[in-house]
Structure formats: structure tokens, C-alpha cells
Amino acid sequence: MNPSGAKLVVANRAGQADIETRLTEGDHQALRLWLRLLACTNLIEGSVRERLKSEFAITLPRFDLMAQLQRSPAGLSMGELSQRLMVTGGNVTGIVAALEAEGLIVREPDLGDRRISRVRLTDAGKTSFERMAKVHEEWIVGLFVGLSAVEQADLSELLGQLKAHASKMRN
């Protein structure tokens, strides 16, 4: 199978034909694949960022931070929270302060070590996040609808293999 049978003119963050469509067909398979993976991620992430901004006046780092807190109802330390973030570009301390000022999260001393702060969503924060998360998921479903359920499963499995091997390779 020739994976590059058609040179798709597809987008980097600004809609220009990106580097992975301009490399030579047949050569450099892994490099082209990496650039395609990066381009896909950029495209979807960019779409989500734009929509979070226009629908909810919220940044993706902030949404990501609230998502991590929603997954850990008992709360997280600032260190744990930072480690779990999936997107770059956020100032964790600043976002936490802003969310606290808005009553969406609360900081409490850790029960075991009162020098450590644990951060968790308030009820208002949970409600706010759940509303946004529902809409966010609809966007994601829409962005992936070009792939059938079977294709999504295949893609997930291939990415899972990629992750498993690539994680082992990291020092």
C-alpha cells in the first residue's frame, strides 16, 4: 500500500501546505509519519482552542487543568497537577489562582502534610467543567467522524503500539 498515493494538501496551524506533504514520496516513511501525526494533533488542538475561546472564553490549558481535577475528586497537589497536564502553554500557578478567585477550585492543606496544598474542584467548578466537557466531547466526535468506528479502533491500536514502544525508549 502506498500511504502517500495522494498528496493531501493539509494544514499546519495556519492552513498552509505543511512540511509533511512536501517530503518525497516513498522515502523517509517514519519522518513523514511523525510530521503527519504532529500536523493532525496541531489541527485538532487548534480547533479545540478556538472553540473553547469562542464558546466559553477559556484557554485550553485552563480546560486541561480542570479536566485533570475532575478526574481526581480527592484533589491533587500542585506538583501532581503539573505533571498530569496534557497541553503546554499554561502557567499552572496563575491558572489555579484565577480559578480559585472565581470559586471554581479550592486549595486545602494536605491532611498528611499540611505544608502541601491540594487543589480540587468546588461544586461550582464541577458543574462548570461538566457543562464544557460535554460540548468539548461533541466537538471531538465531530472532528473524528471522518473515521468509522472500526477505523478509530484501528487508529487507537496503532497509536497504542507506538506509545508503548516510544515510552520505553525515553530515558
d(CA 132, CA 67): 10
* Secondary structure (3-state) at 60: helix
The answer to whether 157 contacts a copy of itself (rule: CB under 8 A) is yes
Cβ 142 to a copy of itself shortest distance, Å: 6
SS (H, E, C) 150-171: HHHHHHHHHHHHHHHHHHHHCC
Per CB under 8 A, the segment of 94-102, 108-116, 118-126, 142-150 that binds a copy of itself is 142-150
Q: How far is the CB of 111 from a copy of itself (least distance, A)?
A: 22
Q: Which window, 23-31, 99-107, 108-116, 120-128, contacts a copy of itself (CB under 8 A)? A: 23-31
Stretch that binds a copy of itself, among 99-107, 112-120, 123-131, 138-146 (CB under 8 A): 138-146
Closest approach of a copy of itself to the CB of residue 102, in Å: 23
CB of 16 to a copy of itself, least distance (A): 5
Total residues contacting a copy of itself by CB under 8 A comes to 79
| Distance (Å) of CA 105 to CA 18, 84, 101 | 40, 17, 8
Residue 105 in contact with residue 99, Cβ under 8 Å? yes
The C-alpha cell at 32 is 513523514
Contacts of 20 by beta carbon, 8 Å cutoff, 6+ apart: 32, 35, 36, 38, 39
Contacts 24+ apart (CB under 8 A), 18-22: none
Residues 81-110 as x/- pattern, contact with a copy of itself by CB under 8 A: -xxxxxxxx---------------------
Q: Name which of 83 and 91 has its Cβ closer to a copy of itself.
A: 83
Q: Please say which residue, 69 or 96, places its beta carbon nearer to a copy of itself.
A: 69
